[in-house]
Structure formats: structure tokens, C-alpha cells
Amino acid sequence: MSKSVLRGLRAAALTGTLVLGLHQALAAENPIKLGVLEDQSGDFAAATIGKVHAIQLAADEINKAGGIMGRPLELVAYDTQSDNTRYQEFMRRVLQRDKVDVVFAGFSSASREAYRPIVDQFNGFAFYNNQYEGGVCDGHMIVTGAVPEQQFSTLIPYMMEKYGKNVYTLAADYNFGQISAEWVRKIVKENGGKMAGEEFIPLGVSQFSQSIQNIQKAKPDFVVTLLVGTAQASYYEQAASANVNLPMASSVNVGQGYEHKRFKPPSLKDMYVTTNYIEEIDSPKSKEFYAKFKAKFPSEPYVNQEAENSYLAVYLYKQMVERAKSTKREEIRKVIAMGDVCMDAPEGKVCIDPKSQHMSHTIYLAKVGADHSISFPKVWEDIKPYWLGEAGCDLTKKDPMAQYTPSNPPPKP
């Protein structure tokens, strides 16, 4: 029996077992309903349970302070089990049956693209609080995660200057990995470097001996690792034990899966990651957020960038609803169009870009040391998600509800 069949069967049996009506005490009169579709089990759970907790934390704080326009915030959470079909089922359920005002949903890009047509179809309103490969130009979506022009345009030139111009990409084989690899290729070329090689790894693969050898054969100056899911994270341990000893660059590791905490040093030595938040960031705002998080969830293994994205997204939503005096998407988008939806988040100041409905970020370059301690050699403040807007996506004028890539840009008017 193949793994995907197994997974499908498993998931089918679990469907509908988790319906958490939280904050029932508060739900008395006319609450604002926030749907939460995140993976609380399955291959991605390690990186995403913190997102659910962050949303709970923000909702509790907001409810204690009187809710949104006096209305309590009620969470409708389902466990999507790291499974794309669960996303589609639960997205229909929260939009049609639970009639939520807004949905916070999704970790993998495959799951986002699975549910996005449903949000569009039922005229819903969704936040994707995850870093990803960029390019979603859809008025029904707000993206609070970082995108390639924020993570790669900073990281790759830095690495090429420091280590050399021969780059090898090892990426997960689905839309996120493929499109991110395209970005890496583009940026490497723009900076006068060359690709020593590329390999795409199917999700769920955990054995990397041959890939490690392919990398050694290509002799790159550094390796861009865009590996996703807990199975693929086994690469680091196996590469370290084979003494590959190459610097690594990534937009997903450490900041999502806290591999530096999970693996024994020094397997992640010389890993460089661009992230908009990790718990090691040493600023008063960050420390305050981390302390609040740990006070509510003392056993949380790590507060990652997606937890911060999710936390600040709840506050951004509150601000937009209060300014629009409505939970209607069209009213909220009028507020976004003003171009001044900003807040002081744990990472620093962030603003929503009206053209793409993506978010500007403070980007931290995190370096993992031999003892797996984190240092920050460089910080880029206020990096804008400029690519979509420059390429021709303008949601204030037109809503194409599509995803674009460098090789498939928006059509020119």
C-alpha cells in the first residue's frame, strides 16, 4: 500500500473529530468569528502548532481588552492534518456552515493553492500567515508572511559575496520548492553567479546519501536548502555525518522548523536564514512577545516566524475592522487601499502593501553557530514586498485571483 493512500485513509478516518469551539463563555452575543485552519498533526505539525497557539494568545488578549468594536473574537479551529484535501473540506465548512468572518489558513503552498479557489468561490476572506514563494495576487487573500524578494534578494547576494558564486539548490518538490528555486536561479544569475546544480526532493523522503554525493560532485560554494516537512529535515544530520561541511542558506529552516533546537550540534553549523522573526531576536518588543507566549504556553518548544506572523495578523485584522467599522471584505479593502495599515509587531514595524496585499518586514539574517547558537550578522529594515506591484499586480484596480512567478508574470495592460 502506498504512503499517500495510507495517509488519505488515515485522514479520512479522522475527519470531523476535532471541532474546538473556543471561548464559549464569551461567545454569548454576536461574536466576530475567526476560522483557524492549521496543521495540528501530520508532517508539518512541528512548525505549525505554534501558529494556532499564537492566534489563541492574540485572541485572548483582544477579548480581555474588550474585543473588536465591543464584539468578542471567537475562534473556530479545525486540525487540517497536513493534508490538502482536509483544507478544502474545512474551508467549505467554515465559510458555508460556520459562516466565519475571516479565515487564517495554511502552511504549505500546496495547501494554500488547494483552498484558495474555494475562498474565491464563496467570496471569503483569508489570511495566509506564512512565508512562501510569492506571487499570489488575489483580493480575497492577505499574506503576512515574507516572500522571495524579501528573503532571497537579501540572502543570496550576501552568501555569494561571502562564500562564492557557485550555488547548489536542494528543494522540496512541489510548488513552493520549484518556484523558490526559480527565484534563486534568477537572483544568482543577476549577481553574476552560476548554478552548480539543483535537485528536487519529493515530500516525505528522509534518506539523502545519494543527494549528498551529488552535491559533493558538483562542488558548490554553498547550498540553498529549501527542504520542507520533518522527514526532509533529516538531511542536515546526514549531511553533517558525511562531513559535507558547506555553508547553507535557507528561507524556511530555523525560522519555521527550529532545526537548530531539534538536532544535535554541529549539524546546522554555518546555516544562514533570512527570517522576519525567531525567538532569539533581542529587542524589547520581541522579548515581550516571547515572554507572553511562554507564560500562556510554557511547554511550547519554539516561537517561530509563523507564530509571530499569525499573532500580528490578528491585531492587523482588529485594526482594519475597527477602521472600516465593518467585517465586510470590501469595506476592509478600502482601508487597505489607503496604504497606512501598519503596526508595531514583535519584529518591528510592518505595513500592508495595498497593491499586492502582502506585508513589509524587518528581515533578520540569522546565522547558526557550531554550538547551534544564533547570531544576527545583518538586519534589513522595512523590506517591501515589491515584486508583485512592480510586475503589474494592482489589487486596488483589478483582482485577477491568480498566482504569478518570474517566468509567468502578470499580463501587461
User: Which chain residues interact with another protein by CB under 8 A?
Assistant: 1-3, 6-7, 9-10, 13-14, 41-43, 45-46, 49, 173, 199-202, 204-207, 209-211, 213-214, 216-217, 219, 230-231, 233-234, 237-238, 240-245, 261-265, 267, 299, 301
Specify the residue, 44 or 387, whose C-beta has the smaller distance to another protein. Answer: 44
Task: Measure the CA–CA gap between 125 and 87, rounded to whole angstroms.
Answer: 15
Nearer to another protein, 242 or 379 (CB): 242
In the complex, minimum distance from the CB of residue 14 to another protein, in angstroms, rounded to a whole number: 7
Please say which residue, 237 or 270, places its beta carbon nearer to another protein. Answer: 237
Residue 43 or 149: the one with the smaller Cβ distance to another protein is 43
Task: Give the nearest distance from C-beta 60 to another protein in angstroms.
Answer: 22
CB atoms inside a 10 Å sphere around CB 198: 18
Report the nearest approach of another protein to the CB of residue 193 (Å): 22
User: Min. distance of Cβ 292 from another protein in angstroms?
Assistant: 21
**Closest CB 199 distance from another protein, rounded Å:** 5
d(CA 237, CA 341): 42
In whole angstroms, what is the distance from residue 305 CA to residue 120 CA? 27
CB closer to another protein, 211 vs 283: 211
Residue 24 or 210: which CB sits closer to another protein? 210
| Least distance from another protein to the Cβ atom of residue 132, Å | 21
Spatial separation of the C-alpha atoms in residues 154 and 250, rounded to whole Å: 11
Q: Are 112 and 84 in contact (CB under 8 A)?
A: no
d(CA 48, CA 54): 10
| Smallest gap from residue 1 Cβ to another protein (A) | 6
Burial label, 244 (beta-carbon count in 10 A; 0-12, 13-18, 19+)? middle
Which C-beta is closer to another protein: that of 171 or that of 383? 171
Walk across the sheet containing 194-201 and list its strands: 194-201, 166-172, 222-226, 248-250, 271-275, 361-368, 374-383
